[in-house]
Chains A and B, each alone.
Chain A
Amino acid sequence: MAADGGHHPEHAPRFAERAPDALNNPQLRRNFRRAMDGLMAKRAAQFPDPAYWAELRARGAAVKARALAKLPDLLERLETNLTANGVQVHWAETTEEANAIVLGILQQAGARTVIKGKSMVSEEMHLNAHLERHGITAVESDLGEYIIQLAGETPSHIVMPCIHKNKAEISDLFAEKIPDQPRTDDVDELTAAARRVLRERFANADAGISGVNFAVAETGTLVLIENEGNGRLSTTLPPLHIAVTGIEKVVEFLDDVPPLLALLTRSATGQPITTYVNMISGPRKAGEKDGPTAVHLVLLDAGRSRVYQDVELADTLRCIRCAACMNHCPVYTRVGGHTYNAIYPGPIGKILTPQLQGLDAAGDQPHASTLCNACAEVCPVKIPIPDLLVRLRREAVRPTETPATHLPVVKDGGAERSWKESLVWAGWRLVYTRPLLYRMVTRALAWGGNWVPASAPLMRDWTKARARPRFKPRTLHDLARERGYLNEVPK
C-alpha cells in the first residue's frame, strides 16, 4: 500500500506525482471548477424528470449492449452497406496501421493540406504529428481543437478540448500566434479571428478528416454531430473525406440513433440537440453539385477487440464519449485532463487507458478514484465505471499463475503485484476471519494504537492534512458486552 510513486521508479511520473502541479495552479483549478459546475447544471436541467432519464438511458444502454453483442456481424454489415454506398472501408489493427492507411490515401490523392473535424481517435493515433512528418499539414477546425493546436497542447477534455484555458489565456494566445490579431476580451471577436483563419483553410484544403459518433450498419451511414458547422465543412468542401473511428461506434439500425443522440447531447453539453447533425452516406453522386468525390472510413481496433473478450470489461465499449463522467468527477474537476497523461482523461479514461495500453503503463489510473460513483450515476449508457475500476485494480494485482478459467485478459495483468502488499492482505485476512484473534488485535490497538509513530508509512501521508485517528480505550465489542447487546440468540 505504498504511495503510487513509490515502487515504480522506472515509469514516467504517475498520477499521484503529476497531480500537485495542477492542484497548485489556482487559475487552472478555477477554470475547471467553473466549467464543470456549468456543465453539470446544464445537464441536470435537461433531465428534470427522473423517470424519463431512467427510461431513456435504459434504452441507450440496451441499444449499445445489443450492438456489442453482435459486434462482428454488425461490422461486416457496416462494411457491406458502406461499400454499396461508395464508401471505401479500411481496417486497422493498430494506430500505426491506421496512420499508414490515412497517409497512403492522402499521398495517392496528392493531398498536401488537410482540414480536420474533431476526432478523439485521431488523437489516439497522433495523426497530425504523423502527417506532419510526411509533409502534410493538418489544421484543426473545431474551435477548441484549433486553440490547443495553436498552443501546441493536447486536449484536456474529450468534448471541450481547451476547457483548461480561460478567455484571457486564449486572447493572449491569439495575439501571439495569429498575424495582425490584437488582444481582445470580446469572445465574438476571438471567434471571428479563428473563423477568418479557418475559412481560408477550408476553401483550400485537399482533404477533410473527421471522426464518427455512430456508424449505422443497416444503412451504411456515418453520423457526426457538432455545433460549429466545421464538421460539415470538413466533410463536404474538400474533394476527399476520410473518417476515422473505433470499431465500437457501430450501431445496428438507424432507429437506434435517436435515443443515443438524445442522451449524448444532453449529457455532454446540456443541449437537446446539436446545431449540426450530419448523416454521411457516401461520396458525391452523379448530378450532385457538392460533396467529396471520395469517402473513406478507417475502422480502428487498437486494443478494443481485446477489451471485447471479457464479458464484464466489454461494457467499457458502450461509451458514447459524452464526457458526463468527467464533468461530474470530483478528481477530474480538481486536476484537469492533462494530469491523466492519456488521450482519454477522467473516469472513462481510467478504465479505458489501462485496457488499451496495459496495466504496466497505466495501472495507477484505476487507483485515482475514491469510487464515489458520481460517474456511474450520470453515465447515459450505464457503464458501471466504479466496478470496472475495481476489476482493473484486481487484474493489476492478480497472481500471474492463475487457473486457466481466469486467463489474464488485460495486458500486463499482475504488473502491480508485490509480495509486501500481498502479505499485508494475507495478514488482514487472517485477523478478520478469526473472531478471537480479531478481538485480541483490536484490544491491542485500543491499548497501544495511539502510539503508532506519525512517521509510520500510512500515518505519514494521512497526517499531512489530517489529525491522526484515535483508538478508543474500549472497542464497540466491549461496549456491546457491557450494555447487554452481545450474542443473544434470535427468538
Chain B
Amino acid sequence: MTAATPPTVTAPAKPDTVYFFGTCLVDMLYPEAGLAGMDLLRHAGVRVIFPEGQSCCGQPARNSGYMEEARAVARAQLDAFPGDIPIVVPSGSCAGMMKTHYPHLFEGDPDQPRAIAFAARVHELTAFLVNVLGVTLEDKGAPVTVTWHPSCHSLREMGVVEEPKALLRQLANVTLVENKRERECCGFGGTFAVRQAAVSTAMVSDKLASVRETGAGTLLSGDCGCLMNIGGHAEKVGDGTRCRHIAEFLMERCHGG
C-alpha cells in the first residue's frame, strides 16, 4: 500500500531510559570516570540503569584466542542487560567488542540472535551524547588547553571520530589542540603491553612526545586502557601531563564534578 512513498528518515528517538555498561577496567581502576558518564546521562535527562550483574565484555579472552571463555562471559552480559533499551559504554574498545564482535563470537550458538540484538543496542558514550541525545554543554571552568586521544577501536570499530571533539568544542574556555599522531595507536593492546613490552614502550613514548608537542597540559580520552598506558608512562617518566577520561572532565566543567 505504501510502496510508492519514500521511506522517512528520522533521527533516533531520544530514549528516556538507558543501560550503562561500566567495563571491568573502569569498575576497578577508574570508577570515577564511569560515575561521571552516568551523571552526564542523568543531566541530559535520561534515566540510567547500572545492572549489578555486569562484569566484562569478554575482549581480553577473545583477543587471546580463548573463544569459549569469551563467549561465556559475553553471555553473562546478554543476561545482565535483558531490556530492549540502549546500552551506553564509556569505552570505544569495549563497545567495539560488543557491537562488532559479539555477532561473530556467537556464530553457531543458539544465543546468536540475542547477541545480534544486543550488539545493535550498544553505543559509545560520547557518540550517544552527541548523536542520540544532542546534548548542549555549558562550560563553567577556567581556561584550559587539552588534546584528544581517540582509542583505535573507537575510531576504527565504532567510527567515533568527531563526536568527542564536538563536545569539547562546545566548552567556551577549553582550547582543543590536536596532536600530530592522533590516529596512531598508543601501544596498549591489552596483553600486547606486556608480551611485546619493548615495542609497546616505544609506541607509548612516541605518543606522549606528540602530546607534549601540543603544549596542552591535559590529555583526554574515552578509553581507560589507553589512559592507563599513556598516563602510566607519563607518571613513570615524570611528565606532568594529566590524563583523564573525557566524561570526568565534562562533568567537572559543566556540573562541578
Contact = CB atoms under 8 A, between A and B. Distances in A.
Interface in A1-42: 1, 3-4, 15-16, 19-20, 23, 29
A471 to B, nearest CB: 6
Given A466-B232, A480-B38, A442 B27 contact: yes
B111 interface: no
Interface in A261-320: none
Nearest to B233: A466
B28 A471 contact: yes
A390 B64 CA distance: 7
B141 interface: no
Given A467-B235, A469-B29, A461 B48 contact: no
Q: How big is the B interface, by class? A: 35 or more
Given A367-B192, A474-B31, A490-B49, A19 B199 contact: yes
A151 B232 CA distance: 42
A404 interface: no
Interface in A449-476: 449, 458, 461-472, 474-476
Interface in B164-213: 183-185, 187-206
Contacts of B198: 16, 19-20, 23
A486 B47 CA distance: 11
B49 A446 contact: no
A54 to B, nearest CB: 13
Interface in B36-58: 38-39, 47-56, 58
A476 B195 CA distance: 29
Contacts, number: 225
A20 B20 CA distance: 42
Contacts of A480: 20, 22, 34-35, 38, 50, 52
Contact of B28 (A445, A462, A487, A489): A445
A136 interface: no
Given A394-B65, A432-B56, A477-B52, A458 B35 contact: no
B47 A376 contact: no
A177 interface: no
B187 A330 contact: yes
B67 interface: yes
Nearest to A21: B198
Contacts of A326: none
A472 B197 contact: no
A394 B67 contact: yes
Contact of B235 (A29, A392, A466, A481): A466
A3 B200 CA distance: 13
A370 B189 contact: yes
Contact of A469 (B60, B199, B228): B228
Interface stretch (B6-14, B69-77, B112-120, B123-131): B69-77
Q: How big is the A interface, by class? A: 35 or more
A134 interface: no
Contact of A334 (B51, B62, B203): B203
Contacts of B235: 466-467
Contacts of A16: 195-199
Contacts of A483: 35, 38-39
B26 interface: yes
Interface stretch (B132-140, B149-157, B215-223, B248-256): B149-157
Interface stretch (A163-171, A207-215, A246-254, A422-430): A422-430
Q: In the complex, which of the residues B55, B75, B189, B235 has the most CB atoms of chain A within 10 Å of its own CB atom?
A: B55
Interface in B53-109: 53-56, 58, 60-69, 72-73, 75-76, 80, 83, 85, 104
Nearest to A445: B28
Contacts of A432: 24, 55-56, 58, 73, 76
Interface of A: 1, 3-4, 15-16, 19-20, 23, 29, 330-331, 334-335, 367-374, 376-377, 387, 390, 392-398, 425-426, 428-429, 431-433, 435, 438-439, 442, 445-446, 449, 458, 461-472, 474-481, 483, 485-491
11 contacts: A16-B198, A23-B198, A330-B187, A368-B196, A397-B64, A428-B69, A429-B61, A438-B55, A461-B193, A467-B236, A469-B232
Pairs A-B, 9 closest by C-beta atoms: A370-B189, A466-B232, A393-B65, A394-B65, A372-B185, A467-B235, A372-B152, A373-B156, A490-B83
